[in-house]
Amino acid sequence: MSPAEIMEEINASIDFDQVLAPYDIRASKAHAAMLGQQGIISKDDARKIAAGLDRVLAEIEKGELTYSRALEDVHMNVESRLKELIGEPAARLHTARSRNDQVATDFRLYVRTWIDGADAALAALQLVLARKAEAHSALIMPGFTHLQPAQPVTFGHHLLAYVEMLARDRGRLGDARSRLNECPLGAAALAGTSFPIDRQSTAEALDFDRPTANSLDAVSDRDFALETLAAAAIAAMHLSRLADEIVVWMTPQFGFVRLSDRFTTGSSIMPQKRNPDAAELVRAKLGRIAGAFQALLVVMKGLPLAYAKDMQEDKELTFDALASLKLAIAAMTGMVSDLEPRAEAMRAAAGAGYSTATDLADWLVRVLGLPFRAAHHVTGRIVAAAEARNVTLERLPLAAMQAVEPRITGDVFSVLSVENSVKSRRSYGGTAPQNVGKMARAWIKRLEKQRERD
């Protein structure tokens, strides 16, 4: 390539920033209207610009606008087409603004719109999880620590843990939205403008809370993208954890769940295979999303105020990351809806590994008055006795328990089954089926009410 071709290749952003076109047009219409209201351009020119921008938008929506790399970016492409349509008034549109505040405004509008969509998508996933949790509020499964059987829980309780995680994800995105909702338009290149513009009116026209307070910060800030990417990375991490559990649960060694052919694929050589590809791909998306956050952080870390061309790198990676998360949320929502638990396998695994040992220790404390540390020691010896006989705790003879602690009575068997174990966990936030059902119904009611409002 010639030097000119190389420069065009590295400088042009139209290949990816054309997705900003609807936002660019909306911001330009607000700017033109303000210029007309303030007498900076004639009201007739403002009307012609608005009508022309509507025609450009219609062409974009129909896929009829041809973008030129020679014009570098979406802003110049839109303005060039506007000039072809309405002539000389198009040249007045750029009065009292710069591409610096223009792109900062467009980018915020894009991210804000994505957050609103992501919030709705995450809420839909929460609702699917909560409904499945209610349906399986009493289905017993093993709870794990270190991926080792720890204590029995219910499948509904396990699913509600992800509802809580997603609630925090929505909160983080909501916080990011609140902070980004300031309008950079009118900050111009970096120092503001000498024209008598009304930044409050453009901010209101674009549904921002207020104009940005410092023109240098307005054009050089990408915190809104970083914060959104950080929240997106955490949300993707949560989806990855659930995806990983689905992958593990589908193995023959666990056999806890089934996914239909809608979310699995076969093997090119092994006809018996049902691979959880959708879950694996959701799990992998985190790498792209977290990588985008890290990449933008590195881009921004050493930039002096105000704008530098380095910041052109902000959009492509952000667009990709946010699109990846949107797809991952949709895939996970579909998988959770499709997923069917295998109750017998879950129940059998819940009783393995002496998972009610803590219940035995609690009984020793509650009924015999042993200090918990002493009860822990006694329980360990009883578990060892059960292991020696290769039986579960609930099948260990009372005499064998009394050989360790003579005061144990037959009442101890009331706490040794996994069913009684989960029923006893009635503390707030615990896994007792009545708790889980109540919490699931509360989430369903809350989420359905939110959906009706939206």
List the catalytic residues: 146, 267
Residue 12: partners with Cβ closer than 8 Å, 6 or more residues away: 69, 72, 73
Backbone phi and psi for residue 141, each to the nearest 5 degrees, phi listed first: -145, 165
Eight-class DSSP state of 306: S
Q: What is the DSSP string of 160-208?
A: HHHHHHHHHHHHHHHHHHHHH-EE-TT-TTTT--SS---HHHHHHHTT-
Phi, psi of 379 (to 5 degrees): -60, -40
Helix, strand, coil % in the chain, rounded to nearest 5: 70, 5, 25
Question: Could you tell me which residues come within 8 angstroms of residue 186 by beta carbon, excluding any fewer than 6 positions away?
Answer: 96, 97, 101, 192, 193, 197, 199, 202, 211
Among residues 189, 173, 187, which one has the least CA distance to residue 225?
173
Q: How far apart are CA 32 and CA 92, in angstroms?
A: 9
User: What is the rounded CA–CA span in Å between residue 257 and residue 341?
Assistant: 4
The one-letter code for the residue type at 66 is T
Nearest alpha carbon to residue 216 among 104, 315, 129: 104
Q: Give the CA diameter of the chain.
A: 100
CA–CA dist 235, 243 (Å, integer): 12
